[in-house]
Structures are given as structure tokens and as C-alpha cells.
Amino acid sequence: MVKVNVEGALEFLDEKALHGIGTEKALDELKALGENGWINLPELFDCELSSEIKRIAKKINDQSDVLVVIGIGGSYLGARAAIEYILSSNYNLRAK
């Protein structure tokens, strides 16, 4: 079930206009995407792939002092997702 908190929007929008904004329809559409929809990711999580990613990351870490990812725009997002998956987003703030 998708729940939408609109308390902050009531100052700008008529509460009646918010009824029927289609959250149920949007959820149905996301679920209909099946394997292509992000909403299904928890069911599709691949533990073997996760273990393989961690194994390769450890190998790179053991063999390297620095890993440089070069790209523009969205090409960086895959590397960023992998970094955030493996490390806390506050990793660089922690004392070494």
C-alpha cells in the first residue's frame, strides 16, 4: 500500500483536489512492470550476485590503493550505487 503525506502541500493546494490523485493506479502500474520495475527489487534481490560484487570489491581493494571511475553524467551512477551498497554513505566522515 502506498501512502502519501500531503500535510505540507495543504497550504498550497485544495484538499479536495488531492483526493483521487491516483496513488493506487500508480502502484498498479509500477507492479505491472514486473522485473523491470524498481518496486519489485526486494523480491528480485540476488544474494549470489551481491556476494560476487563484494568479492570483486575486496580483490580490487587488496590490489589497489586508489580506484578511479571516469565518466560523465549517468555513467557515474552505477559506480556510486556500488560504493553506497558496500560502504556507509558516511564512510569518509569516519576517523581512520
Domain ranges of the chain: 7-44, 47-93
Full pLDDT tens readout for the chain, 96 residues: 566 676 776 676 666 666 666 666 666 777 777 666 667 777 777 888 889 988 998 999 899 988 887 777 777 787 788 778 778 777 778 777
> Quick one: which of 39, 36, 35 has its CA closest to 27?
39
Phi-psi region of 37 (alpha: psi -120 to 50; beta: other; left: phi over 0): beta
Q: Note the pLDDT of residue 24.
A: 66
Q: Note the pLDDT of residue 44.
A: 74
DSSP 4-69: ---GGGTTTS-HHHHTT-SHHHHHHHHHHTGGGSGGGHHHH--HHHHHHHHHHHHHHHHH-S----
CB 4 within 8 A of CB 23: yes
